Amino acid sequence: MKWVKFRYSYNMEYNFRETEKKWQHYWATHKTFRTENSSTKKKYYVLDMFPYPSGAGLHVGHPLGYIASDIYARYKRLTGFNVLHPMGFDSFGLPAEQYAIQTGQHPSITTEHNIARYREQLDNLALSFDWDREVRTSDPEYYKWTQWIFLKLFNSWYNTETGKTEPIEKLEEKFTLHNAQCAVGAANKSWDDLNEKERSDVLMDYRLAYLSEATVNWCPAMGTVLANDEVKDGVSERGGYPVERKKMKQWSMRITAFADRLLNDLEGIDWSESIKEQQRNWIGKSEGVEINFAIHNAQFTIQIFTTRPDTIFGVSYITLAPEHELVEKITTNAQREAVLAYVEESKNRSDRERMADIKRISGVFTGAYAIHPFTGNQIPVWVGDYVLAGYGTGAVMAVPAHDSRDFAFANHFNLERPKVIQPKNAEWDFDKESYDEKEGSCINSDFLNGLTVKDAIKKAIDEIEKRKLGKRQINYRLRDAAFGRQRYWGEPIPIYYENGIPKPVDEKDLPVILPEVDKYLPTADGEPPLARAKNWKYRPHPLPISKGEGESFPLETTTMPGWAGSSWYFLRYMDAKNDKEFAGKDAINYWQDVDLYIGGSEHATGHLLYVRFWTKALYDLGLIPVIEPAKKLINQGMIQGRSNFVYRIKDSNTYVSKNLKENHETIATNVDVNIVEDDILDIEKFRQWREENAKAKFLLEDGKYICGNEVEKMSKSKWNVVNPDDMIEKYGADCLRLYEMFLGPLELSKPWNTNGISGTSNFIRKLWRLYHQRQISNRQLAVGNEQPINTESKSDVQFLLNKFHVSEEKPDRKELKSLHKLIKKVTEDIERFSFNTSVSSFMICVNELTAMKCKKREILDPLAVLLSPYAPHVAEELWNLLGHKESVTYTKWPEYKAEFLNEDSFAYPISINGKTKMNLEISLALNKDEIEKEVMNSEEVKKLFQGQSPKKVIVVPGRIINIVV
């Protein structure tokens, strides 16, 4: 029987390999997803957070958000919107540079290579991006405008009176007009008397992008400064290198000026509560009061900040941060040695150490006393590193009875702990811990006695302001963002130095192109890599009158951080090829802002804050019409890896199966998940996997080696990476898309499990089979199969070739109901981003149609449209087979018709006091009141009542009727 060999022929099934290739080629050559900047249609902007093109390529977790945004973008197109759905690459960054340091290969080559790979992977997923708008942050045509925006920020200041960003010239005019007094070093001078350098220094204190001597996060291993959000637990977020605090001259962005607006404007945007909360937390607004404490027998005043002025009478000492400038000045001679030693010690303790032993209490008495502003009592002044120099005034009034940190300190050094708040209805052991709660009433507090905490805070502030002891103050935890990086692979900062005065490069000379260097490392004197560049100089024009022809000045050698390019990229997509402007006015006015932004929540306090900051600054300068970059934000969950482990018996080459390992001392190691199936190790593949495994011995259970498993972050080092290319190769892109959506709610993190993918694969094949008639294969006949083929025999049918077939018959009511149920469900699901339930609905519909053997055109036609956002290749192929000439992208989303959804009548369960007694057939056309009447008049229901009268009748149309007696 020769024909046996055709059994597994692909002819039988949907050939995803061929179909997907065909349509991807079609979309690319026809530029199906190109978007115009003007249209009579309403605009809709769907944006993904663009990726950093790393060498590892995409894993199955990355596309989750891209698929979701793609579904939404395709849906919006089909419902009549002009959709902007672009993609690009955040292509400046550390890994390419690290690789360059190791290999000498220029980062642009690595980056180019990685982008090509990313592009290929993204194309395979059939994401409907308009690639004509692609942006790359490392492209000079792009970073020209990043530099341009930097100059705008450099040339702007934040006017706190108007609450707006304004050009720096306005400030200069103001200074000139009023001949303002300006702080220069320690002295005050008039603006007219200042020289050029001094004026530059004064203005620098106002610019939004500014150079200052500041304490920064210095990462010695990477040789660069990092922003606060790039440091986690005292180590760098990328690489995990230790970070220390260092004072150095540094470029920063004055994001703190926008703190209040960044906080308040969160109210108006549809972002997840958790992201908003993280940002609120990061901004850390706290309202309180600054109070001055005079030093006994000295001219100094210590200014403290507190949010609890109600506890002012509980102050028993004052603590200064070790870095506080008064420490040196007020310390008595007797204490000098001890204090200096302590300050020195604190300086050398890194943040990481300080955080590691948070419980260690340390401090030293200065010998000085402050005077309590209300009681006139003398209270000791201490130095302690639990007080942070960078927050508030770097000094606190300590209230040990009502603040746990003060309590710990006071307890340790045996200081007084006066009680001033009486806890409400509670016996509190003040010897054991402090009472920090903001509830209770004031005691031992003079004019505050008897007031609640809330009232006392108000009264105390009023009194403090009345007596001119201090004033209301709002503090933020947010710090200005470090902007310069001592690295190569970033945008050069377009600043040059003329006689040490930083000056902006002329707009006409942008971009300042990243120069070639011999090595990507700092110079021998610790200068950033750009200092290696030959002739890293700028020749301003017109040349300063006094200078000779050809004089040039050194350029800035630090580069911009990774977040610079990503803080405005959403604007560039609007007009990506514009070489006159960062984006044209018309394009900006048409596209406005992002309607839907999808990306990971890990950017909550980084990118998502910076992009809001730049948007507000650009708005103030009249460059864009919106104050927020994105109306709606969705954070897709992370897809975790499911790692597998093998257990090697210590000091041997024997591996013991999971359930037998208790009897041995074993070492667990990650094993490549690709050689494990259902936790069963493929021993042969394991032997080949690594050289040292070749002679491995195994202790098996039931003849199998069972691996352990755990859910971990997907990463190369854990051998748990599942590559989307492999999935696409095996099941096809549509299947992968459907499965990723089917896994669960978009925003939930979930482990990847390849097992379930057969479900969506079956669905696609089932749909395909439904519209393909079986026909005898020519190939089969050619090899001489002379046996009669019985089309009823399922085994015979397998040898037949498929041919597309739809029936032109009108669908009946049941079939239409199935379809319209689906339309309604899928429409609603997409609107609320519940893609997983949509996939279920498709499966139900196809199951129903298969059961009804419904192969009708009028059903498939809308079905293909509904499916196109989810499984674009299959949909496009079916659409084409149905005889449509244009891509399914250009058609219309079907509307559901309610008349097909409901039956004419419904058997309502009638329950009395919640107990179901009977079912009653009632027309669905009736409204609530009519149903009620119908029920009350029904003979059968009357029988049930037996004379009782109903108290209440509850009707839920289409569902339930309950009668309360």
Partner RNA sequence: GCGGGCGUGGCGAAAUUGGCAGACGCACUAGACUUAGGAUCUAGCGCCUCACGGCAUGUGGGUUCGAGUCCCUCCGCCCGCACCA
Q: Which of residues 381-440 bind RNA (CB under 7 A)?
A: 385-388, 391-392, 394, 396-397, 403, 405
| In contact, 750 and 640? CB cutoff 8 Å | yes
Q: How far is the CB of 460 from RNA (least distance, A)?
A: 12
Beta bridge partners of 710: 643
Distance CA 779, CA 174 (A): 89
Q: Considering the rule CB under 7 A, would residue 274 count as an interface residue with RNA?
A: yes
- Residue of 552, 578, 674, 836 that binds RNA (CB under 7 A): 836
Task: Verify cis geometry, omega within 30 degrees of 0, for the bond prior to 95.
Answer: no
Q: Should residue 314 be labelled a site residue for RNA when binding is judged by CB under 7 A?
A: no
Q: Indicate the residue among 5 and 885 with the shorter CB distance to RNA.
A: 5
Query: How many CB atoms neighbour CB 833 within 10 A?
Result: 18
CB 489 within 8 A of CB 145: no
Using alpha carbons only, what angle is made at residue 312 by residues 310 and 318, rounded to the nearest 5 degrees? 140
DSSP secondary structure code for residue 794 in this structure: H
**By the rule CB under 7 A, 750 interacts with RNA:** yes
CA nearest neighbour of 578 among 148, 156, 154:
148
Residue 636 touching RNA (CB under 7 A): no
The radius of gyration of the chain's CA atoms, rounded to the nearest angstrom, is 36
Between 41 and 454, name the residue whose CB sits nearer to RNA.
454
Q: What are the phi and psi torsion angles at 397 (to 5°)?
A: -90, 125
Q: Which is nearer to RNA, 112 or 710 (CB)?
A: 710
Return the residue matching tokens 């055709």: 6
Geometric angle at alpha carbon 416, from 410 and 418, rounded to 5°:
115
In the complex with RNA, which residue's Cβ is closer, 307 or 452? Answer: 307
Site for RNA, residues 458 to 477, rule: CB under 7 A: 475, 477
Other beta carbons within 10 angstroms of residue 828's beta carbon come to: 14
Task: Write the interaction track for RNA spanning residues 332-351; mark x where CB under 7 A is met and - where it is not.
Answer: --------------------
Stretch that binds RNA, among 75-83, 161-169, 299-307, 460-468 (CB under 7 A): 299-307
- Using CB under 7 A as the binding rule, whether residue 827 contacts RNA is answered as no
Q: Which single residue is written with the structure tokens 């997923």?
A: 125
922 binds RNA per the rule CB under 7 A:
no
As given in the structure block, the two tokens for residue 327 are 């420490």
- Cβ 398 to RNA shortest distance, Å: 8
Applying CB under 7 A, among 193, 277, 433, 465 the residue interacting with RNA is: 277
Q: Is 794 in the site for RNA (CB under 7 A)?
A: yes
Q: Which of residues 842-901 bind RNA (CB under 7 A)?
A: 843-844, 847, 850-851
Cα angle at 249 between 245 and 254, to 5 degrees? 90
Beta carbons within 8 Å of 344's beta carbon, 6+ residues apart: none
Q: CA 844 to CA 850: how far, in whole Å?
A: 10
- Decide if residue 820 touches RNA (CB under 7 A): no
Contact between 267 and RNA per CB under 7 A: no
- What does the alpha-carbon distance between residue 395 and residue 426 come to, in Å, rounded to a whole number? 32
Of the pair 113, 354, the CB lying nearest RNA is at: 354
Q: Near RNA by CB under 7 A, which window of 4-12, 59-67, 108-116, 164-172?
A: 4-12
Q: Which helix (H) or strand (E) holds 636?
A: none
Q: Which of 743, 849, 878, 888 binds RNA (CB under 7 A)?
A: 743
CB 853, min distance to RNA, A: 11
The 232-261 site mask, x for binding RNA (CB under 7 A), equals x-----------------------------
The answer to whether residue 523 forms part of the interface with RNA (CB under 7 A) is no
- At closest approach, how far in Å is the CB of 546 from RNA? 48
Pick 223 or 284: Cβ nearer RNA: 284
Residue placing its CB nearer to RNA in the complex, 2 or 580: 2
Residue 221 is a binding residue for RNA (CB under 7 A): no
Residue 491 near RNA by CB under 7 A:
no
What is the rounded CA–CA span in Å between residue 575 and residue 581?
Answer: 9
> CA-CA-CA-CA torsion for 13, 16, 19, 22, nearest 10 degrees?
-150
In the bound state with RNA, the residue whose beta carbon lies nearer, of 621 and 963, is: 963
Residue 292 binds to RNA (criterion: CB under 7 A):
no
The answer to whether 389 and 322 are in contact (CB under 8 A) is yes
Residues facing residue 188 across a β-bridge: 183
Whole-angstrom distance, CA of residue 422 vs CA of residue 431: 14
Please, which of residues 761-780 interact with RNA by CB under 7 A? 762-763, 765-766
Sign, CA torsion 732/733/735/740: positive
Q: How far apart are CA 293 and CA 377, in angstroms?
A: 11
Distances (CA, A) of 252 to 132, 214, 248, 479: 34, 9, 12, 10
Point out which span in 250-258, 293-301, 688-696, 951-959 binds RNA (CB under 7 A): 951-959
Nearest approach in angstroms of CB 750 to RNA is: 4
Choose one: 109-117, 132-140, 717-725, 955-963; the region binding RNA (CB under 7 A). 955-963
Nearest approach in angstroms of CB 291 to RNA is 10
Per rule CB under 7 A, count of chain residues that contact RNA:
82
Q: According to the binding rule CB under 7 A, does residue 619 interact with RNA?
A: no
Per CB under 7 A, contacts with RNA among 562-601 are 601
* Interface map 158-197 toward RNA (x if CB under 7 A): ----------------------------------------
Q: Which residues from 84-113 bind RNA, rule CB under 7 A?
A: none
Site for RNA in 700-739 (CB under 7 A): none
- Residue with structure tokens 């420490």? 327
CB 383 within 8 A of CB 343: yes
Residue 225 parent element (H or E): strand 224-226
Which of 15, 32, 715, 834 binds RNA (CB under 7 A)? It is 834
Site for RNA contains 783 (CB under 7 A): no
- Residues 357-386, interacting with RNA (CB under 7 A): 358, 360, 385-386
Contact 156, 254 (CB under 8 A): no
CB of 296 to RNA, least distance (A): 22
Longest distance between any two alpha carbons in the chain, whole Å: 117
User: Given candidates 411, 444, 911, 938, which one binds RNA under the rule CB under 7 A?
Assistant: 911
Strand-strand pairing, 481-482 and 301-306? unpaired
